[in-house]
C-alpha cells in the first residue's frame, strides 16, 4: 500500500535497571525494531544515579543516534519513542519523549495513541494558566499527571486519577529519577508488552522489539493496568477495565509479522486472512502476487488455500523512503514506479490475483493495476485482506478524513470500476472476526463498521497527533 496508506503514529520502548549502563543501547535497538511504527523522529530519555538526560531529534533511529551519543546517554533505565506525525505536525517541539521539571524532579513521557478529549482538557488547563510547549495530546497527558500529583500520595495514584479523565486509546511509559511506570487504556486499543532482559524488565509496543534486544516476553500489559517498576520491585495495579477492543489494523498491516499480540501471531493471522479470502470468493487465476510487502502473508495464504502458485509481480525499491522527493501532479505515475515496478517477464500474459492489505483513497492501487496491464497482464483481480475502510480512526492511526476514504462514498462495484480491476473482493467483517478469534482480547473494528468503542465527540478535530 505504498504512498496511499494508513500510518501508525508511534512506537515505544522502555527498560528498567539495565546493568552496565546499557539502557540507552537496549532502547536504541528496541526502537530500531519498531522503526516501521514511526519514521519522522526518535528520542531516548535515561536516568542514572538519580539524574535524567535525553536526546531526541527528527529523523530515523540510526540518524538520530550514533555510538558516541549512546555512550553519553548510558543509563540505568530509559524510555524511547519513534513517531509518525500527521501533516503539519512534524515539528521538533513535538519529538518525544517529552521531558519536564516538576515538583519532585524531572519526568519524561512517551506515548502511543490518541485522546479524543485532548482539546477539551487542554483548553481547561490553559484557562487555569497552564503553558504548553507542543501541539500533542501526549503533553496533555503529562500535564494532567503532574497536576494530579499535587493532590495524591504517589505518582501511581496520580496516574490512576489521570486515567479517569483522559479518553481514547493509549499506551504510555513514564520515567522519573527512580521509577519506570507503564499504563494502558481500559479498552486495550493500543498495544504494550512486558518482557525481561536478564534481570531487567522492559516494555515495548511490539513483542518483536523485546526479542530484538535478547529478551523474553512475559505477557501483554492488561487493558486498564498500571505497572510500576522501582527498587521495591514490580507492582501491578488494575484501575478499571471494560470489554477489550484491540486495534484490528495491528494484525492487518501495522505490526511486524514476527510479533505476537494478545496471544495471536501476526504472520499466522495474515495467512488466515488470505485463506479466508479464497474461501469467501474463490476467484481462480494463473498466479497470486502481493503488493509488497504488507500483502505478502495474505497472498501466500490465498495461494495455499487455492493451490494457485505464488509469484513475485513487482520489484520494490527499498531505498525510496521518507526522504524521497514527492512527484509533481503530472509525475505521480513516475513516483509510484520509482518504488514499485512490475516484473514484466513474470506477469506478461497471465491472469493475476493481486493481494493487498487495504484500500484507502484508491489512487495508488489504480496506478498499480494499470502498470500490470501495461506490463502485459491479461487479467488483474484485486483481493483485499480487510473489509472496506469506511470510517476514520480517532485512537492513534492517521487515517484521512472520511470524505477522502474511497469506500465511504463508493460501492465495491464502483471502486472496482474506479481502480480498473477485472474484479475486486474484500474480506468480510465476519471473515476478519474469524481470523482474529484466536486473540485473547476483542477487536476494534470501528474503521470498518463505525462502531466506536468510546462514546464522545468523534470529529476530525479529535485526531490530535501523538
* pTM of the predicted structure, to 2 decimals: 0.92
8 A C-beta contact, residue 15 and residue 201 = yes
In a 10 Å sphere around its CB, with 0-12 CB exposed, 13-18 middle and 19+ buried, how is residue 413 labelled?
A: exposed
> Among candidates 216, 264, 254, which has minimal Cα distance to 440?
264
14 in helix, strand or coil?
strand
Measured distance CA(269)–CA(282) in Å, rounded: 19
> Among candidates 164, 125, 87, which has minimal Cα distance to 401?
87
In a 10 Å sphere around its CB, with 0-12 CB exposed, 13-18 middle and 19+ buried, how is residue 387 labelled?
A: buried
The per-residue pLDDT for 381 is 98
What residues form DSSP beta bridges with 379?
351
Q: Are strands 287-290 and 351-356 parallel, antiparallel or unpaired?
A: parallel
The per-residue pLDDT for 43 is 98
The per-residue pLDDT for 466 is 58
Average pLDDT, the chain: 90
Residues in the chain where the model's pLDDT stays below 70: 1-9, 85-90, 318-338, 400, 456-466
DSSP at 289: E
* pLDDT tens profile 201-250: 999 999 999 999 999 999 999 999 999 999 999 999 987 777 889 999 99
Q: What value, to the nearest 5°, has the Cα angle with vertex 58 and ends 55 and 59?
A: 105
* pLDDT tens profile 45-95: 999 988 999 999 999 999 999 999 999 999 999 999 999 864 336 678 899
Q: What are the strands, taking DSSP E only, across 91-215?
A: 98-102, 105-115, 168-176, 180-184, 193-197, 200-204
8 A C-beta contact, residue 165 and residue 144 = yes
The cell 474503521 sits on which residue? Answer: 447
> Among candidates 349, 357, 374, which has minimal Cα distance to 285?
349
C-alpha cell read off for 272 = 488466515
Measured distance CA(354)–CA(361) in Å, rounded: 17
393 is annotated as an active-site residue: no
Catalytic residue among 10, 202, 447, 466: 10
Domains of the chain, each with CATH number or no CATH: 7-244 (3.60.20.10), 266-462 (3.40.50.2020)
Q: What are the strands, taking DSSP E only, across 278-332?
A: 287-290, 314-316
Amino acid at each position: 500500500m505504498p504512498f496511499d496508506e494508513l500510518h501508525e503514529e508511534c512506537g515505544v520502548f522502555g527498560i528498567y535497571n539495565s546493568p552496565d549502563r546499557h539502557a540507552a543501547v537496549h532502547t536504541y535497538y528496541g526502537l530500531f525494531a519498531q522503526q516501521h511504527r514511526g519514521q519522522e523522529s526518535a528520542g531516548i530519555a535515561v536516568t542514572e544515579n538519580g539524574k535524567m538526560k535525553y536526546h531526541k531529534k527528527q529523523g530515523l533511529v540510526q540518524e538520530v543516534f550514533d555510538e558516541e551519543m549512546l555512550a553519553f546517554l548510558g543509563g540505568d533505565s530509559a524510555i524511547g519513542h519513534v513517531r509518525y506525525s500527521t501533516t503539519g505536525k512534524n515539528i521538533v517541539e513535538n519529538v518525544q519523549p517529552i521531558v519536564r521539571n516538576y515538583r519532585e524532579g524531572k519526568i519524561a513521557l512517551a506515548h502511543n495513541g490518541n485522546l479524543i478529549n485532548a482539546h477539551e482538557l487542554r483548553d481547561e488547563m490553559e484557562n487555569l494558566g497552564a503553558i504548553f510547549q507542543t501541539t500533542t495530546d501526549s503533553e496533555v497527558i503529562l500535564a494532567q499527571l503532574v497536576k494530579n500529583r499535587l493532590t495524591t500520595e504517589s505518582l501511581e495514584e496520580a496516574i490512576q486519577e489521570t486515567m479517569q479523565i483522559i479518553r481514547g486509546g493509549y499506551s504510555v511509559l513514564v520515567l522519573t529519577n527512580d521509577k519506570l511506570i507503564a499504563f494502558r487504556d481500559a479498552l486495550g486499543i493500543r498495544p504494550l508488552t512486558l518482557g525481561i532482559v536478564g534481570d531487567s524488565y522492559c516494555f515495548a509496543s511490539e513483542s518483536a522489539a523485546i526479542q530484538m534486544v535478547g529478551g523474553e516476553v512475559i505477557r501483554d500489559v492488561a487493558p486498564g493496568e498500571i505497572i510500576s517498576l522501582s527498587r521495591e520491585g514490580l507492582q501491578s495495579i488494575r484501575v478499571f477495565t471494560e470489554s477489550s477492543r484491540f486495534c484490528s489494523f495491528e494484525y492487518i498491516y501495522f505490526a511486524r509479522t514476527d510479533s505476537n499480540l494478545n496471544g495471536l501471531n501476526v504472520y499466522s493471522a495474515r495467512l488466515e486472512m488470505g485463506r479466508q479470502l479464497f474461501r469467501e470468493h474463490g476467484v481462480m487465476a494463473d498466479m497470486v502476487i502481493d503488493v509488497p510487502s504488507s500483502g505478502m502473508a495474505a497472498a501466500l495464504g490465498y495461494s495455499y488455500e487455492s493451490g494457485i502458485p505464488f509469484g513475485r509481480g513487482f520489484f520494490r525499491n527499498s531505498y525510496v523512503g521518507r526522504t524521497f522527493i514527492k512527484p509533481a501532479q503530472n509525475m505521480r505515475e513516475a513516483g509510484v514506479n520509482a518504488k514499485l515496478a512490475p516484473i514484466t517477464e513474470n506477469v506478461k500474459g497471465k491472469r493475476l490475483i493481486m493481494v493487498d492489505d487495504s484500500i484507502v483513497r484508491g489512487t495508488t492501487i489504480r496506478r498499480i493495476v494499470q502498470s500490470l496491464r501495461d506490463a502485459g497482464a491479461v487479467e488483474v483481480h484485486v483481493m483485499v485482506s480487510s473489509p472496506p475502510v469506511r470510517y476514520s480512526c480517532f485512537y492513534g492511526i492517521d487515517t484521512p478524513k472520511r470524505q477522502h476514504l474511497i469506500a465511504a462514498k463508493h460501492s465495491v462495484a464502483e471502486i472496482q470500476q474506479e481502480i480498473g480491476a477485472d474484479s475486486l473482493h474484500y474480506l468480510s467483517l465476519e471473515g476478519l472476526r474469524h481470523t482474529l478469534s484466536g486473540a485473547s482480547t476483542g477487536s476494534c473494528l470501528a474503521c470498518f463498521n463505525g462502531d466506536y468503542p468510546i462514546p464522545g465527540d468523534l470529529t476530525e478535530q479529535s485526531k490530535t497527533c501523538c
